[in-house]
C-alpha cells in the first residue's frame, strides 16, 4: 500500500501509475470546480465533495456525514477511479479537504495518498481542460464500524478529540449555518 502522504516529486515520477484527484472545496460557498477549471494537475479528475464524498448535512448529522457506500462507489466509478487504482488527492487548503477522500478510500481498502503541500507544491505546469477518464468498476464497501467514532466516543475522557475546524469556527466567531447553532 502507498504511504498516506506523498511528495510532489514522487507524484511526478509516478504520473502514469496514479489517478490524480482534485478535491478543492470551500466553506464560504465558492465552487471548487471553478478553481479546477482555472488550473489543475495534469490528468486530474475533479471530485465534488458535496456530490460524492458526503450525504446531505444537518445539525444532527453535521455538514458532511458520510455518503451511502453505493453513492461513493458510483461517483468514483463515474470519475474513472477503479478498484485497482492508486489515487493521489490534493486541494489548496493544507490537505484538510483532500484528506477526506484519502481516508474514505483507505478505510475501504483502496490505495490512496495525500499530496504533501497540495497543488501549491506542484512544480510542473497545470492544465485547464477537464480530464476525461473512462468509467471504471468501483465496488461499494460498507464504512467499517471500527473506523468510525460516535458522540459517546468523543465524550469519553479516555479518547483524544482533535477539532480540525478553522480556528475562527472553533472559537464560534464564524458559525456554520448548517451545523453550528447560534443562540
Residue 61 is predicted with a pLDDT of 67
Model-level pTM?
0.88
Where does 5-144 sit in CATH, by number?
3.40.250.10
Average pLDDT, the chain: 90
Q: DSSP alpha helices (H): ranges in 23-141?
A: 32-38, 69-79, 98-107
94: left (phi over 0), alpha (psi -120 to 50) or beta: left
CA torsion sign, 131 to 135 to 136 to 139?
positive
Torsions phi, psi of 62, nearest 5?
90, 175
Confidence of residue 180 (pLDDT cuts 50, 70, 90): low
CA distance 173 to 151: 23
Delimit the domains of the chain by residue range: 5-144
CA distances from 112 to 3, 75, 123 (A): 8, 16, 21
CA distance 76 to 165: 26
pLDDT in tens, 166-176: 777 777 776 66
Look up residue 89 and give its three cell numbers. Answer: 488527492
pLDDT in tens, 57-115: 777 767 778 999 999 999 999 999 999 999 999 999 999 999 999 999 999 999 999 99
pLDDT, greater one: 170 or 148? 148
Averaged over 9-29, what is the pLDDT?
95
Residue 183 is predicted with a pLDDT of 39
Amino acid at each position: 500500500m502507498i504511504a498516506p502522504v506523498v511528495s510532489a516529486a514522487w507524484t511526478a515520477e509516478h504520473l502514469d501509475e496514479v489517478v490524480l484527484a482534485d478535491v478543492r472545496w470551500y466553506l464560504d460557498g465558492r465552487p471548487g470546480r471553478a478553481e479546477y477549471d482555472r488550473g489543475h494537475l495534469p490528468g486530474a479528475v475533479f471530485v465534488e465533495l458535496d456530490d460524492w464524498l458526503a450525504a446531505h448535512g444537518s445539525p444532527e448529522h453535521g455538514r458532511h456525514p458520510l455518503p451511502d457506500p453505493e453513492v461513493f462507489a458510483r461517483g468514483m466509478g463515474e470519475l474513472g477511479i477503479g478498484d485497482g487504482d492508486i489515487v493521489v488527492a490534493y486541494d489548496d487548503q493544507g490537505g484538510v479537504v483532500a484528506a477526506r477522500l484519502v481516508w474514505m478510500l483507505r478505510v475501504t481498502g483502496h490505495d490512496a495518498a495525500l499530496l504533501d503541500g497540495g497543488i501549491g507544491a506542484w512544480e510542473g505546469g497545470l492544465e485547464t481542460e477537464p480530464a476525461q477518464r473512462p468509467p471504471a468498476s468501483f465496488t461499494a464497501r460498507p464504512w467499517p464500524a471500527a473506523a468510525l467514532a460516535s458522540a459517546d466516543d468523543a465524550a469519553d475522557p479516555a479518547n483524544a478529540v482533535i477539532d480540525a475546524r478553522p480556528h475562527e469556527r472553533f472559537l464560534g466567531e464564524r458559525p456554520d449555518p448548517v451545523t453550528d447553532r447560534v443562540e
